[in-house]
Chain A
Amino acid sequence: ETGVTQSPTHLIKTRGQQVTLRCSSQSGHNTVSWYQQALGQGPQFIFQYYREEENGRGNFPPRFSGLQFPNYSSELNVNALELDDSALYLCASSLETGGADTQYFGPGTRLTVL
């Protein structure tokens, strides 16, 4: 059974640029959630995708967008990067929407915005 993987591991961008982060969910999982974890903070929910549709969104602006593909892998896109977007981005997959104890996290992508 393959766990949740994320790419790239680290990324450096400059303010105003756009970035795409990728997540491969655990085999058989159809739900992917994305979180932003700033330094010294806990993960903050960005949004969730369930069967290729957005299924809930946290308090993040529209320049944070996502996609889920038929194989349930997912992308997080951030446009017009700001310095405060520097953070660890985590994705988590689960078998169904809800059911927290089945949510498996990837190792994260560390984004630095200069």
Chain B
Amino acid sequence: DQQVKQNSPSLSVQEGRISILNCDYTNSMFDYFLWYKKYPAEGPTFLISISSIKDKNEDGRFTVFLNKSAKHLSLHIVPSQPGDSAVYFCAARVHTGNQFYFGTGTSLTVIP
């Protein structure tokens, strides 16, 4: 039962352009969402988060948007850089829980 879904296994973007990574979820009890970035042979690194009381959170080149009615969140990277090439996971948590549910990941390639 995959409660967090990333339907695009891969994405290629030209350097300098916008990268948009999407994530859908099914559990309406999720109220905290995160994006992690993972390079090969390394553990996931926290990137950005958003609480369900917000619809947008921005940190430098990274912005996360949350659409609660559609149960959808997205990560925008502007401008994209070759160093952003990695696998990106979205994850979600129920407010009262300590368990994070991860999506299957999207492999982003930024072409110089």
Chain A positions within 8 Å of B, measured between CB atoms, are: 4, 33, 35, 40-45, 48, 55-56, 58, 90, 92, 97-98, 100-108
Docked Cα-Cα span, A48 to B46, in Å, equals 18
Task: Determine whether B65 belongs to the interface, using a CB cutoff of 8 Å to chain A.
Answer: no
Closest to B49 in A: A101
Provide 17 A-B residue pairs closer than 8 Å at the C-beta atoms, listed in order of the A residue.
A33-B98, A40-B104, A42-B4, A42-B6, A42-B89, A42-B102, A43-B89, A43-B100, A48-B99, A56-B98, A90-B43, A97-B98, A98-B98, A101-B46, A105-B44, A106-B43, A107-B42
User: Given A4, A42, A44, which contacts B105 in the complex, CB threshold below 8 Å?
Assistant: A42
| Structural contact, A48 and B102, CB atoms closer than 8 A | no
| Structural contact, B43 and A107, CB atoms closer than 8 A | yes
- Chain B interface size, as a band, is 20 to 34
Docked Cα-Cα span, A47 to B71, in Å, equals 26
Task: Determine whether B76 belongs to the interface, using a CB cutoff of 8 Å to chain A.
Answer: no
Closest to A91 in B: B43
B13 to chain A minimum Cβ distance, whole angstroms, is 21
Taking CB atoms, residues of chain A closer than 8 Å to B46 are: 100-104
Docked Cα-Cα span, A40 to B89, in Å, equals 12
| Structural contact, A100 and B34, CB atoms closer than 8 A | yes
Task: Determine whether B93 belongs to the interface, using a CB cutoff of 8 Å to chain A.
Answer: yes
Docked Cα-Cα span, A98 to B94, in Å, equals 10
Taking CB atoms, residues of chain A closer than 8 Å to B103 are: 42
A43 to chain B minimum Cβ distance, whole angstroms, is 5
